[in-house]
A and B are shown apart, each in its own frame.
Chain A
Amino acid sequence: MAPAEATRTLAFVEAVREAQDLEMERDSSVILFGLDVDDPKAILGTTRGLVDKYGPERVFGTPLAEDAMTGAAVGMAYAGLRPIHVHIRMDFVLLAMNQLVNMAAKSRYMFGGQLSVPMVVRSMIGKSWGQGAQHSQSLYSYFMHVPGLKVVTPTTPYDAKGTLIAAIRDDDPVLYVEHRILHSQKGPVPEGSYTVPPGKARITAPGRHVTIVGVSYMQVEALRAHEYLREVDIDAEVIDPIWVSPLDTDTILDSARRTGHLLVVDNAWTTCGASSEIVARVVERLRPDERVRVRRMGFAETTCPPSPTLEDQFYPNGRTIAAAAYELVRGPGKPWMPVEREDVNAVSFRGPF
């Protein structure tokens, strides 16, 4: 569904709220629940006002029972509802793995198409201010592994709204992963309904010398790296996969073929992660005469530490990404690391909208 022209700027949280509001208004089968969705803080504002508008049967806080509430969402979906289940930390979704992996993902298949599970699981990942070991994890690759699930990691307010509407209307279970730092970011968002459908990536900055794929929040850092790399005359193409499952390999492969260099920066650990999958899919499809140099970046292979000096080392950033891209393009002989620039830190969302 094509969007209207964006004539206003919204924050990510407001885009999420609006997507749910529009879908709930349109379809009485959409219901929304999770710990604290109806409390005064309203999940960082993403559910604000919805309980007043739609009532406590459609918008409700739940017991601290992630396993059963996920199972309940599956049962509601069997019955024709389209539940949205919210987890304010992705770490908590681990308590729901049985229902997501054994029931939500498999029902359509193991019941021979008799049942389907149109549900959305929203969860938030965090960074900084000492989120630490169990408030920071980006576990979406766990779900990429399982057939039957879809996974989306929107970066911009535009995509936050369009992918959430697509996820709610989708007949399969969708993990919708929000980065808390992105929540306050603003960008152009059209009014009314539109969808950003599964399986289509977006080139967010065109370039010729290296392809940088940035997943979730790392999309912002990849765009910063793009700016730094101009200092050394490297023209980086930046891609946001948007949906990591199903993954748009074609767009990434096409770009990597053109630039000859592929750097995938994930907002997660690299081992068995989205970055592994993206690189493998690209390399597998190269012809014998094609050469693409590849590199992955992600979290340090440690538990996330809360102390700022350690945490700075834990995450890739625009400068370290630029340095890695430089080495990929120019070779390992003479390392380069850009000096931090305030104007680059201000890079946020530019949109092709």
Chain B
Amino acid sequence: MTSASAVDPAALARLFRSLYRIRRVEEEVARVYPSDKIRSPVHLSIGQEAVAVGVCDALRGDDVVFGTYRSHAMYLAKGGDLRAMIAELYGRQTGCAKGKGGSMHLVDVAHGVMGTSAVVGTTIPNAVGYAYALKYRRSDRVVASFFGDGATDEGVWHESLGFAALKRLPIVFVCENNLYAIHTHQLRRQHTGDIVTRARSHGLPAERIDGNDILAIRARIAETVAALRAGQPGPFFFECMTYRWREHVGPGEDFALGYRTRDEADPWVRGDQVTRLGGMLPPDERRRIEGEVEAEIAEAFAFAEASPFPSPDQLWTDVYGTR
């Protein structure tokens, strides 16, 4: 693991705050979920936060990210508005998509959170197209495209990598490999399981980052983004090994299903990055951050609960822009 001394204290505090905030938001979502106040399928990132936080911390505010239905972490890590996210989960008018997207379609364009999709692999080419537009406009902004190991089964993953490599686009592909597509292990879906080799076959540099190590992820992405901004042609590919603690969809655990074991999960839980970074901070600073985050989360849930539902006529808005 990357040593703590390589990270300045301000960055450490910032990373811990982001990790802790996402963890606690999702724990709160899980806690509220049985009340049926959140009527949206939730795919929790608990255990996987380090990838989103590590990558997004290395990005600029005006860079953009594209994600999946499991994007609570990416949305928050990139700066997506917390109150608007919770309100969206609650189906309220104040939600980031005005109650028309739900948990699987989070968006905050002002903070560079572009589309998220419920269909595996679907936003990868959207991210590539956005990167094409940035290059066409001679922008120094970059794109990060998040997807899971399941997406690497999809044809569109290959098509997208191929085009991005052909046009040397300013994009970083981030595979969050949590080993499972719903309940099916990667090695039951792929002959080799070697995602980076498959990525390299399209002619782009690809590397694996083991251990769900936020500091390693952040360091590598920061170097890569700096190179892209300096004019080095993209794309770049990272496979970030991580692990989903909760069930595929829903608030609970699913070890009782028998498709995986607690023994498999144990090393990932022991290597929890929230605990790790929390332990690297002075205790009083950690307590202060935790207190601030708890207050922010309580306020966001209260905001969502107090927000109005969309009026019935809102059903018909935003179907078309011009009619």
Bound together: yes
B193 within 8 A of A: no
| A interface list, Cβ under 8 A from B | 31, 57-58, 62-63, 65, 67-81, 83, 98-99, 102-103, 107-116, 118, 147-148, 150, 170-172, 198-199, 246
| B interface list, Cβ under 8 A from A | 66, 95-101, 105, 107-109, 114-115, 117, 119, 122-134, 136-137, 155-156, 159-160, 162-163, 166, 317-323
B101 x A72 contact (CB < 8 A): no
On chain A, the residues within 8 Å of B66 by CB distance are: 75
A172 x B130 contact (CB < 8 A): no
Compute how far the CA of A103 lies from the CA of B105 in the bound complex, rounded to whole angstroms: 11
Compute how far the CA of A111 lies from the CA of B101 in the bound complex, rounded to whole angstroms: 6
On chain B, the residues within 8 Å of A67 by CB distance are: 125, 155-156, 159
On chain A, the residues within 8 Å of B130 by CB distance are: 75-76, 78-79
Compute how far the CA of A199 lies from the CA of B323 in the bound complex, rounded to whole angstroms: 8
Contact status of A63 and B132, CB under 8 A, knowing A68-B125, A110-B101, A172-B320: no
Listed residue (B95, B156, B323) with the most chain A CB atoms within 10 angstroms of its CB = B156
Chain B residue with minimal CB distance to A65?
B159
Contact status of A63 and B162, CB under 8 A, knowing A75-B133, A98-B119: yes
On chain B, the residues within 8 Å of A81 by CB distance are: 133, 136
Contact of B163 among A62, A80, A108 (CB under 8 A): A62
B97 x A111 contact (CB < 8 A): yes
**Number of residue pairs A-B, CB distance < 8 angstroms:** 149
Compute how far the CA of A73 lies from the CA of B136 in the bound complex, rounded to whole angstroms: 13
On chain B, the residues within 8 Å of A114 by CB distance are: 96-97, 107-109
New contact pairs (14) apart from A65-B159, A75-B129, A103-B123, CB-CB < 8 Å: A63-B166, A68-B125, A72-B132, A75-B114, A76-B130, A78-B130, A108-B319, A108-B320, A110-B105, A112-B97, A112-B99, A147-B319, A148-B319, A246-B323
Compute how far the CA of A118 lies from the CA of B133 in the bound complex, rounded to whole angstroms: 14
On chain A, the residues within 8 Å of B127 by CB distance are: 75
Chain B residue with minimal CB distance to A81?
B133
A-B residue pairs in contact (CB < 8 Å), sample of 26: A57-B136, A58-B136, A67-B155, A67-B156, A68-B162, A69-B159, A71-B129, A72-B163, A75-B114, A75-B127, A76-B130, A76-B133, A78-B130, A79-B129, A99-B122, A103-B117, A109-B318, A109-B319, A111-B100, A111-B105, A112-B95, A112-B100, A112-B318, A171-B320, A198-B323, A246-B323
On chain B, the residues within 8 Å of A72 by CB distance are: 125-126, 128-129, 132, 160, 163
Contact of B122 among A98, A150, A172 (CB under 8 A): A98
Compute how far the CA of A190 lies from the CA of B105 in the bound complex, rounded to whole angstroms: 44
Contact of B100 among A63, A76, A110 (CB under 8 A): A110
Chain B residue with minimal CB distance to A58?
B136
On chain B, the residues within 8 Å of A76 by CB distance are: 129-130, 132-133
On chain B, the residues within 8 Å of A74 by CB distance are: 125-126, 129
Closest CB in chain B relative to A108 CB, distance in Å: 5
Closest CB in chain B relative to A94 CB, distance in Å: 13
On chain B, the residues within 8 Å of A108 by CB distance are: 318-321
